[in-house]
Amino acid sequence: MIETIKLTRKYGDLVALDNLDLQVESGSCFGFIGPNGAGKTTTIRILATLLKPTWGEARIDGLTIGYQNALIRPIIGYVPDFIGTYDDMLVSEYLEFFAACYDLHGSKRRQVVADVLDLTDLHHKVDAQVAGLSRGMSQRLSIARVLLHDPRVLLMDEPASGLDPRARIEIRELLRELRRIGKTILISSHILSELAELCDSVGIIEQGKLLFSGSTSEAIRRADSGLHYEIMVSDRAREAGQLLSELRGVKKVTLTPRGDTKVLIVELDGQQKLDPSEIPARLITAGFRLVEFKRGEVDLETAFMRLTDGIVS
C-alpha cells in the first residue's frame, strides 16, 4: 500500500532522508520510530504530498507521489502533530466545513459527520468551541476531520504527543478500532510501549537512513543479544555492582531503581565468553544473598536503544 524507493530529501547540504526503501502492507499498522531529526516527519510530509523529494520515488496504492497527487489525496488522511483549527467555530461547524470541502452535501454530509463523531466519541463536544478543546479532544477532532472522506491510508505524525495518560489510552483505542475496520496506518511516536501494543510492524530510522523494517517481534529478536542480565541482592547492591564490574568479560554494570529496591543490570562483553553462571556464583562466594538473577528482558524500547546510536541529522 505504501512504498518508497531510494527516497531522498536534502535541505541544502543537510540530508534529511537518505535513499529510504520502505514498504507498508495494506491493512497493517506500521510504527515509524527514530530520534528527533531522524527524518520521520519529512517522510510523512512527502507521503502526504506536502513535500517533494529531492530524488527517488514514493507510492501509495500504486500511485506515484509528485505525478498523481490528485488521485492520491482522496485516499489518504494526514494527521499532523499539531493541528491548525478555526477557533471561532463549533466542533459541528468545523466538521461540516471540511465535509463540504470533500464535496459532501445535504443529508449525506450530516450522516458522515454523525458517523465520525460516533467513531471518535466526540458527540458530547458537538456544540463546544474548537478553541476550548483540550489537547486530547483536539487530537480526536483532527482524526475525525481526516476520516470524513473515508481514506484508506492514515498518516499520523506523533498523534499522542503532549497528551495525558488517559487521553493517550483513548487515542490508542481509537487507532485500534481504525485498524480493525481495515485502515492502513503509518504512525510515528516516541511512546514506544504503545507502538509495541498497537503496531504489527515497525521501521527504525536514524540520520535519514532506515536501520530496520519488519515485525515488532523481529526487531526485539534482533536486539536480544543474550548479553544482558538483571540481578537483585538483599543489600549492599552498590558493592555487588563494584564486584561484578571487576569480572573479566563484564562490559558494564548499571544500578537501576525498581520500586523500593535496586536492580543491577549487567552487560557482558561478547568477545570475552564469560559463562553467565559465574555471576551468581561470584556473588554468593563473596557473601551476598541473591534474590533474583535472570536474563534481561527486551522490549521495543530496548530494541530501539540497541539498534540506534542517538545520532540526529
pLDDT of residue 228: 80
Q: Which of 222, 247, 271 lies at the terminal end of a domain, its last residue?
A: 222
Which DSSP symbol is given to 1? Answer: -
Q: Position 190: which residue type?
A: H
Give me the helices (H) in 120-253, please.
135-147, 165-180, 192-198, 216-223, 237-245
Cβ contact 313:40 at 8 Å: no
Residues 175 and 238 in one domain: no
Nearest to 64 by CA among 2, 8, 15, 146: 2
In the sheet where 228-233 sits, what is the strand order?
250-258, 261-268, 228-233, 290-295
Q: Which of 182, 198, 222 lies at the terminal end of a domain, its last residue?
A: 222
For residue 311, tell me if it sits in a domain. Answer: no
Strands 290-295 and 261-268: unpaired
For residue 309, tell me if it sits in a domain. Answer: no
Residues 254 and 204 in one domain: no
Provide the CATH number for the domain around residue 117.
3.40.50.300
Cβ contact 244:264 at 8 Å: yes
Q: Provide the residue-wise pLDDT of the chain in tens; the chain has 313 residues.
A: 999 999 999 999 999 999 999 999 999 999 999 888 889 999 999 999 999 999 999 999 999 999 999 999 999 999 988 776 677 899 999 999 999 999 999 999 999 999 999 999 999 999 999 988 888 888 899 999 999 999 999 999 988 777 788 888 888 888 899 999 999 999 998 778 778 878 999 999 999 999 989 888 888 777 666 678 889 999 999 999 999 999 988 888 888 888 778 889 888 876 767 888 889 999 999 999 999 998 877 677 777 776 776 555 5
Residues 237 and 93 in one domain: no
Find the domain containing 6 and state its range.
Answer: 2-222
Query: Cα–Cα distance between 168 and 136 in angstroms, integer?
Result: 8
pLDDT of residue 225: 60
Residues 145 and 236 in one domain: no
Q: Which residues pair with 210 in a beta bridge?
A: 205
Query: Cα–Cα distance between 33 and 192 in angstroms, integer?
Result: 8
Cβ contact 71:62 at 8 Å: no
For residue 182, tell me if it sits in a domain. Answer: yes
Cell numbers at residue 7, please? 527516497
Nearest to 142 by CA among 161, 164, 127: 161
Residues 60 and 156 in one domain: yes
For residue 15, tell me if it sits in a domain. Answer: yes
Cβ contact 262:237 at 8 Å: yes
User: What is the domain count for the chain?
Assistant: 2
Query: Cα–Cα distance between 266 and 247 in angstroms, integer?
Result: 11
121, burial (CB in 10 Å: exposed 0-12, middle 13-18, buried 19+): middle
Q: Which of 222, 241, 274 lies at the terminal end of a domain, its last residue?
A: 222
Cell numbers at residue 255, please? 544500578
CA dist 126 → 72, 116, 211, 258 (Å): 30, 11, 44, 44
Q: What is the distance, to the nearest Å, from the Cα of residue 107 to the centroid of all Cα atoms in its chain?
A: 38
Q: Hey, is 186 helix, strand or coil?
A: strand
pTM of the model: 0.78
Query: Cα–Cα distance between 264 and 77 in angstroms, integer?
Result: 46
pLDDT of residue 185: 96
Query: Cα–Cα distance between 2 and 250 in angstroms, integer?
Result: 44
Provide the CATH number for the domain around residue 253.
3.30.70.100
pLDDT of residue 129: 92
Query: Cα–Cα distance between 199 and 11 in angstroms, integer?
Result: 31
Query: Cα–Cα distance between 45 and 290 in angstroms, integer?
Result: 53
pLDDT of residue 128: 93
Cβ contact 130:158 at 8 Å: no
